[in-house]
Structure 1
């Protein structure tokens, strides 16, 4: 069995890290993996829970903005120096003799392919969790380093299409949807009466890309109860949201951070989850919602329509007119129709986004192809 070194150059725990951990906890090939991650305690502790004593950390792949030191170097210079120093790190992990495959977990980690592929002739595979725009800096980076990449694992068809627009060969791109661990069954399903529908949830960072203000506006229009869960936030956007809630006297509870173990409980309590993202390759929160029989309302962009099917497991919107129509649908929905949406949500995640399906596909890409 080939030995695999995972590279994860991130400073926060986001969906990309969570779904990687889910895979590692469910593959039978767990002993084949070590991980090289950034030198941040939260990151190291997160991966140590699943890869005990097989976590290698280094400052060189820690994102520049997360590093605090006494040197007043520019961000660009820091990046260049760390990129050069990474060569020393690669040598220190005894790559040439120990690892057969390098598996990068974040789009930005593609820059390390030049060390692993060109200098050490290792197979280089990378997860792409982002919609990479052609004219963006990351788009240019991906095109430059593409020659050193053997395979891309795209989390949705929309991600694949974005890579193809960059000029990446379709033959190198494999679509593997993220998957949930499905433990509950129809025996756990409890019928909800239409009269009880009042709770709309939002789960995600309070940043422009997630567009939380559209959620706030939806609650204002519908006069339903809103609940916002978030780990990270842009201070100015958070203050704006808080001001609108107070001035409009909206029924919105700013909950803040929840541990992952409490997310299931939160999803069960919500009647709909609202996903207003302006860009989102395949939001994990939709899968967590579906797993708990909660239908979703999502913007019709990127990977969201690959998850939400109109009038089957939720609703899709493009503009304010669509949101007005959705508001009317919710107001007039029957108990039978609503509970069918709930059942279909669970069917969707069970059949299409099951962790077992993902594990089999990843194992095949890494160890069979």
Structure 2
């Protein structure tokens, strides 16, 4: 378990006097997405009778998973998002542009409920050819003096890239970017500041998924604090590093369990994400994502480290796709950037210095890059290993 206590407040050590939680959890099988798909098919009638929101995962990683929401879980997930938003936004002052296709997403439904209850104005926009192009999106952001983007890093960067390409019109009022849905590193946050200016607040807003709901809220520097009242958090087969007598770090795969009711039972659900958790006396546990387990195989550069290096160059990067082959000892990177093509050599030099055993090639603005499509997917694969 971990705490939602704010940084700097006294926080007693978590413990359970009457329950051996670790032993209890070991008797519950680990869930994966396939288990939830099977459960949904077996309980279809119950979902039809009791759900107030019918929703599904995107299906980008396989068969879509039904994620129906009843009033109970929709309410507590909305409350969690309200808390996350309330730390960053003010009513009558902030206005949010939600950049997302929105279709079948329980997250987007909960986020609009949360903003309405907080009395924070919002608009939902997404590029649709022939209906809503980037000039219109730019005009909407200007017309309603939007202060905040809430979306995935991929879509936020796409919107900013296309608006900068327009190169005209009134200046945006953006001073906050709230990111979710993908790996969001400290380097990613810094890259946005290069585009929007150092005063812009860039935060990994919430971490979670359509099936699990919002599990944590961001505190900056690529870190999160968990919603402890609603979930059990397990770091499985964790590697422990001792910092000092009062602090240590645990790194491993994250499994989560719901403590509150819902139509879709989440019990020891394997997120397939690896986190490093900082445990410090009288402080809340801090969770730092390191990437998907599939991208953290031994013998390959980690996705988080590769992103840190690519974003370390002076010029803003709007997208990258990196392919790493251990057998061929190659790292091939495609970049999307505006301005000087000197960025190609800067990225190549940076990666070569870090990974001298690999041959590094870098290309710029490749026409086939998925990012350059009119409306890319909300989540883009930036790192692949083979």
Q: TM-score range by the shorter chain?
A: under 0.3
Task: Considering fraction of residues, name the structure with more strand.
Answer: 2
Q: What is the TM-score normalised by the length of structure 2?
A: 0.26
Q: What is the TM-score normalised by the length of structure 1?
A: 0.27
